[in-house]
Amino acid sequence: MFEMSFLSEALVKLMRRKDADGGILTTNLRRCLSTLDIAFLGIGNMLGSGVYILAPNVANKLTGPAIVLSFLLAGIASLLAALAYAEFGVRFPRSGSAYSYTYFALGEILAFFVGWNLIMENVLSLAVVGRTCSAYANSLSRGIIGNFTVNVFGWLTDKQNSSLSKYPDVLSAILLIAFVLFMLLGAKQTSWLNNTLVVVNVIVMAIIFGVGVFHADFSNWQYHCGDHKPDGFISGFLPHGWSGVLSACAKCFFAYVGFDSIAAAGEEARNPGKSIPIATLMAMSVVSVVYISVSGVLTLMLPYYDINTEAGIPDALKHYDAYWAVYMVSGGAIASMVTVIMGTIFAVSRVMYAMAEDGLLPAIFCSVCRKVPFVSMITSTFVAAILAVFFDTDAIIEMLSIGTLFAYLIIAFGVVIVRYSPTKVHAKGEIGPRVTLRVWAASSLYSLYPSRMSHKTLIVITLALATFFAFAFGFSVNVKGTPWDGQIGLTVVCGSMILVAVAYIYPLKELLDDENYTFQMPLMPLLPVISMSLNAFLMTTMEAVTWYRFIVWLVLGATVYFANGYRYSKLNQVQLKEKLDHS
């Protein structure tokens, strides 16, 4: 009996949620960012390697001219996740992005793991962008920087396929440290530089589009006699068929990663209820149009099989002797990388600040100076700088995406739970009785809609089953050798489960949180369920080694949580105080 009581109490602690009280708009940070500032932060954090690196590679190897469809589909999938973030950003305008939202909606243990994965994803992203920026600078110097570094510091390894960098990339560390020192001046100063560079980048994109349209040749979207026909060939526009378009979607999806920096700015927005949804839609619209337009004109300038996979845009411009535009592209590429660096430092430091403020990380990480979380900014950038100096980009990038998709999945799950919760959870302080989620015995599910508690329990079970089927479908389809008829059957089962989930949850309109917020995710619960399924499927496209490393990271996170966060959580301190007061 004692063991059951102890286990029950431990589970309640793991699922404890933050209450959105009337002081949710109170913050130690400065509320100084306008809607435009936040939109530019999101654009700057998304509009980077997707155009300069990803688009040429994907067009050449996977899609051909149909890359425009891959970017369109990936943009729609990203928009679904962004809408869920926007609703949470209106309800709970706190720094911490997905971590804070999960803490309010689903409980402490899930929130910790979401935050833990966001830290990993952003630190690794920072290291990759730092190395990419350094490599670009080295290329512009025609190798002088790299040769100088080798002469001073020597080689780290001469092995092929090594996780270590061939030589210590000191320049990447210098760049990261320089930008974090600048960002310590404050969010307003940072946003001014970010806005300027975003405008420069968008102007460069417009120039690329203009030059591309001028030299566009629509015959490059057609099949010519003698051209190679890849596997799955349909037409000149779809040389790799629909399988190529769909397989490229997962890669193109990650070009949109970065919109969570918009949500992370909620605690520094002047009017988060208005700014977060508008900035989200502005940023997603601009980035989608840029990606589709530039990738489209790139495949019109050259046949897809002639596109340079490493320097596609400069090479295409050189083909038409537009050398003046090549230099502008170089400037735009550097500007885009700088905005990504600043946006990533901003996002990861706010997650660490929020977790430390809640007691789940050591309190030193919520230290504030000049209204910015300086310890979180310096620590995360220092770790990223070390990784950038010593490790190869490919070794770092393998771990980047899975943590982000995990966060997207949880947020889509959470937005359904919050909307259909019998407890009104929002930022105005009207909190109903505490409800603990638990799986009821089968005997309690004696009717379709027995009670409010089992409503919520069954919603959780239904969403969990839909997610499970999406994972099962993804893993099965991605296993080589799966028969085509088996894939069709799995598709039918997965699609049916999604429809069942929507069909069950949709009639429960009386449970909908009908509070008048400035923004709510439309078509509830269809869009969140589709978003969950897409994110689960995309996670299954990762390599096995990525999953092993992801599991190791989660185990390390569990160790940190139970050694520190479980005991020192502010919610735990409040509960202990309440116990003492009542004893």
CA dist., res. 399 & res. 567, Å (int): 29
- Residue-range definition of the domain harbouring residue 476: 420-440+448-514+522-541
CA dist., res. 261 & res. 43, Å (int): 10
465 within a domain of the structure (yes/no): yes
User: Smallest Cα–Cα separation from 44: which of 261, 316, 298, 368?
Assistant: 261
104 within a domain of the structure (yes/no): yes
31 within a domain of the structure (yes/no): yes
CA dist., res. 312 & res. 328, Å (int): 14
Q: Are residues 238 and 376 in the same domain?
A: yes
pLDDT value of position 511: 54
Domain total of the chain? 2
Q: Are residues 407 and 424 in the same domain?
A: no
Q: Are residues 212 and 315 in the same domain?
A: yes
562 within a domain of the structure (yes/no): no
User: Smallest Cα–Cα separation from 532: which of 421, 411, 402, 401?
Assistant: 411
> Which residue positions in the chain have pLDDT lower than 70?
1-13, 20-28, 49, 160-162, 310, 393-399, 422-458, 461, 476-516, 578-579, 581-583
Ranges assigned E (strand) in 245-393: none
Q: Are residues 180 and 43 in the same domain?
A: yes
pTM attached to this predicted model = 0.81
pLDDT value of position 436: 34
pLDDT value of position 176: 94
Q: Is 33 helix (H, G, I), strand (E, B) or coil?
A: strand
pLDDT value of position 529: 85
Q: Are residues 401 and 433 in the same domain?
A: no
The values of phi and psi at residue 23, to 5°, are: -95, 20
Q: Are residues 408 and 459 in the same domain?
A: no
Q: Are residues 123 and 51 in the same domain?
A: yes
Q: Are residues 183 and 314 in the same domain?
A: yes
Q: Are residues 278 and 260 in the same domain?
A: yes
pLDDT value of position 445: 36
272 within a domain of the structure (yes/no): yes
Using the structure block, give the residue that is written with the tokens 């997905």.
Answer: 98
507-537 pLDDT tens trace: 555 555 556 677 888 888 888 888 888 888 8
Angle at CA of residue 212, ends 206 and 216, nearest 5°? 145
Q: Are residues 530 and 482 in the same domain?
A: yes
Q: How many other CB atoms sit within 10 Å of the CB of residue 454? A: 17
Q: How many CA atoms lie within 13 A of 7 on its CB side?
A: 5
Q: Are residues 405 and 483 in the same domain?
A: no
The values of phi and psi at residue 264, to 5°, are: -65, -20
340 within a domain of the structure (yes/no): yes
**At 316, which CATH number?**
1.20.1740.10
User: Smallest Cα–Cα separation from 521: which of 94, 86, 20?
Assistant: 86
pLDDT value of position 380: 94
581 within a domain of the structure (yes/no): no
User: Smallest Cα–Cα separation from 60: which of 239, 224, 222, 233?
Assistant: 239
Q: Are the C-beta atoms of residues 220 and 300 closer than 8 Å to each other?
A: yes
Q: Are residues 381 and 433 in the same domain?
A: no
User: Smallest Cα–Cα separation from 415: which of 430, 426, 428?
Assistant: 426
DSSP string, 490-534: HHHHHHHHHHHHHHHHTT-GGGS-----S---SSTTHHHHHHHHH
3-state secondary structure 393-459: HHHHHCCHHHHHHHHHHHHHHHHHHHHCCCCCCCCCCCCCCCCCCCCCCHHHCCCCCCCHHHHHHHH
- 269 by Cβ neighbours in 10 Å (0-12 / 13-18 / 19+) ranks as buried
578 within a domain of the structure (yes/no): no
